Chains A and B, each alone.
Chain A
Amino acid sequence: MKLFTPYRAIPRGVTLGLGLGVWVVVIGLWTLVTYGGSVPDMFLPAPGKVVDTAFRLAADGTLWEHTWASSQVVLTGFAVSSIVAVPLGLYMGTYRVVQAALEPVVNFIRYLPVTSFVPLFILWIGIGFQQHIAVIIFGTFFQQLVMVADAARSVPRDLVNAAYTLGTTKSETVRHIVFPATLPAVLDVLRVTMGWAWTYLVVAELVAAKAGLGYISLKAARGFQVDIIFLAIAMIGLLGLLTDQGFRLARRLVAPWAENAR
């Protein structure tokens, strides 16, 4: 069986077929257990009902309002985190002094659960947008820092040596060599941590949110509106998928040279 040879490429049709097939199975099972009546509507809504709810909330605009509110939280938090973490991570991976200074404290903080900091953030920042993005930043920043530093550290030494023999100075190394060399890896780090940023959304909107997908699903849970929870989850998943594809596209556009190597 050629399909079961490790690392062997498979035909595009098979890739698409398998990807769709599993979705069909998942939705099929969901349809079966809900319409078949084996799971009460209160716990698991039928697919049709979620679609109806989606149309209803899309028509009256509430779906977009909450999606937009959540996107603002995630994108702002993610952007602020990335703008600091990427350059700092590159320096941390390139300069041992920066690594020696930052690594102990970063490795301590990045294992702390984000949820445990929510009360602190409320105390420090108050409630509202800033507190929500603080949760996203806290959840992504330290992970990004460590992953970008790892990428910077794995730049081959002789690549940097070659740059020196061509007249590159030490202070130019990060900008001229480390940054371009790690660009594909950095975009992959951003893609992965963007996914994590979306997973922190519900935690971010746990307290004192007035809008957002996390907020409506928390509110819906109180009223047993499982269809809305499902819709919110589906929206978060779709937005995650969309940003993931966005970063893949960005990588192809910004670093076309790295495509053959994969």
Chain B
Amino acid sequence: MNKGTLRRIVSLILEYKFSFFLSLLFALIYTISGLLIPLLTGRAVDFIVAKGNVDFTGLFRILSLIAFLAILSFISSYLMARLNNRISYRVSRRMRDLSFSKLSRLPLSYLDSHPSGDTLSRIINDVDNLSDGLILGFSQLFTGIMTILGTLIMLFGLNYILALVVLLVTPLSLFVASFISNRTQRMYRVMAEDRSRQTECIDEMVRMDDEVKIYNGKRNAEAVFDKINEDYAASSFKATFFSSITNPATRFVNSIVYALTALTGALLAINGRISVGLMTSALSYANQYTKPFNEITGVIAEFQSAIVSAFRVFALLDEKEESRIGEGEISSSEGDVSFDDVSFSYDKSQKLIENFSFNAKSGEHVAIVGPTGAGKTTIINLLMRFYDADKGRILLDGRDITTIDRQSVRKLFGMVLQDTYIRNASVKDNILMGRSFSDEDVRKAARLSHADAFIERLPNGYDTMLSDESSSLSQGERQLLSIARIMLSLPPVLILDEATSSIDTRTELLIQNSFARLMEGRTTFSVAHRLSTIENADTIIVLKDGSVVEMGRHEELLEKKGFYYELYRSQFI
């Protein structure tokens, strides 16, 4: 899994090949000048021996060389950092774009069954974390490796035995680092999971703030939150602490290298194989050699957390998309809808709709009734292609809707749901919903749906900003607004899911008139409780526990004295 994730991160970065290799080039220049400046400083000191024994011409040559390298190092390190930032910001921009596009391709079954807080956390926190890790990661990793190689070359130039001692102990440092990182990887994953659980919890409690307030549920909400908060503190402590052991541990290994170099150097010096000065240089290089290891291991912690985040983002990106079968376009429809032997259930182990066949001719009004939880909304989910049937076909003008592009199908349906959603946008944009119509059309749609009265009472009329969370609109006003959305484009098939449940009867009656006009020549599916509104329906489908128990016209069903009759009676108790 991690190998796959890493490979994908690398291939993502390779898309910015040019910038990436340019950045590596600058890193190289930066590292080399960084290694040469101390060497030159040492040479400069050699020109300054004692009183009256200073070679100023030699010194100036060296000093101007140092100045040149300093400028080179300044430019290259700046450009390197700029390029690295650019790459990683681009990567995160791309990942955000990709995951947002993914959202619109995920099937409803995924979104219905996954907490939105978790998905949100992947797109926002994890993508950010991934890019942060990358910024620190790649540039430091590369300069670190370059410094190590450069120092090794210098060391071999000094004395091969000392260089070998340093080289042989190196793997130990790497071994320690990878040992710790393997163990902390799991802790980081637990931490990321706890973090996402926490985001979910906060999201929920903020959204359900009314309930918390009304039931004085603060203490309970706090208890739920505190438990998760405690878990997160513990897991983040564990992950942070154990990954931060890496640095001291490798530094310890490096100190051992230093001690061994001192020992070998001293023994070689006693035997006269090297000079004391050479040993001093070797020691300072050995010291310098160990520093990048510290940096690299320091980066590893960031890196690990970035990899875990990358894994979570890739997992989202890899989710199965809504099947794209059905590329056919359909721009208009007669509105003839049939269900042909359709079976469907959310949970495949529990049967829901079984072998359902039915035909609504163009312009007919089909009412779906049944007790709460009987599966009325399921029919709508299938019609709108939010879910696809497990078996059988749904036909629109004789064409299997699965052979037609989803969006194209949906555009033919006008849907008003019981739970209306209000966008973070103006009233006007909430009615337009991305379609292009004139202001006059918008006003007309609002008038027809009787939404204009309350809209004009809002502080800025049609330009008032709304949001789903804000409480400035009542449920009924929300429904009027969503009816106005439909009035605007008049699609050939209407789906009204308890469309008027929160609207008072007076307004409803007015809307019914508009609806009646709207429904003329349009096939309409309506879910309603108020049986009075569906008495004129061409067909009434009576559902109970997910299956169709009766079907027919109002009078026929009453005569049957079956389940519909019972429902109808209870309305007037």
Determine if chain A interacts with chain B.
no
A: residues with CB less than 8 A from B are none
B: residues with CB less than 8 A from A are none
